[in-house]
Structure 1
Amino acid sequence: MKRSLWVLALCGFSTLVMADEPAARTASQADSAIPAVETYTYGSHPDIARVISISPTPNVCKVVPVRMTYEDSHGQRHVMSYQIMANGCGNS
């Protein structure tokens, strides 16, 4: 639930290699397919059309970094890093 709220708040990136790509890709071609990790800052307005994945949240009681992989409205993949409060804080 917390993760969903953070994703909604961010709305105002993990890398996948496609199986049908040629095996003879050079290292420079492979590097260009990997999106750079963007860091979310307050006031950013990322163009998030579809969330592909969100990294797992550890079971600790502190603020932790997570990464979200998403596609923008033009179909480009992005990886965004941002901070959330982890799942380990409970009233026990």
Structure 2
Amino acid sequence: MRYLAGFACLAVLAACTDPEVGEQMVGDAMRPAIQEVVSKEYPLVPAPPVVQCVIDNANEEESTRILQAAIEGVTGRDNIMIVRIVNRPGTQACISDAGVPLGMM
């Protein structure tokens, strides 16, 4: 157990010193909430690339709300926000670049 706590501390310290690690940790924490919405709203679409595009295109306020949803549960408001992020031109371009046909969206 002590080793696990030590590893967690090292991960937090690494996140503080390397912005990419911090961004990765935030993205990983956001993933379940986004996955839930994408799977529900777009059941025929391969979720992983869409989820990553939402992570990449969410602003700071949206990221904070998605993190909260990942902890407390996705609300209807969160669902609408994630769908709006999916429908942004930048996110749509990301999804298309990832090889997901936009006609499936």
TM-score by length of 2: 0.23
Give the number of the structure with larger relative contact order, counting CA–CA contacts within 8 Å between residues 6 or more apart: 1
The structure with the greater share of residues assigned to strand is 1
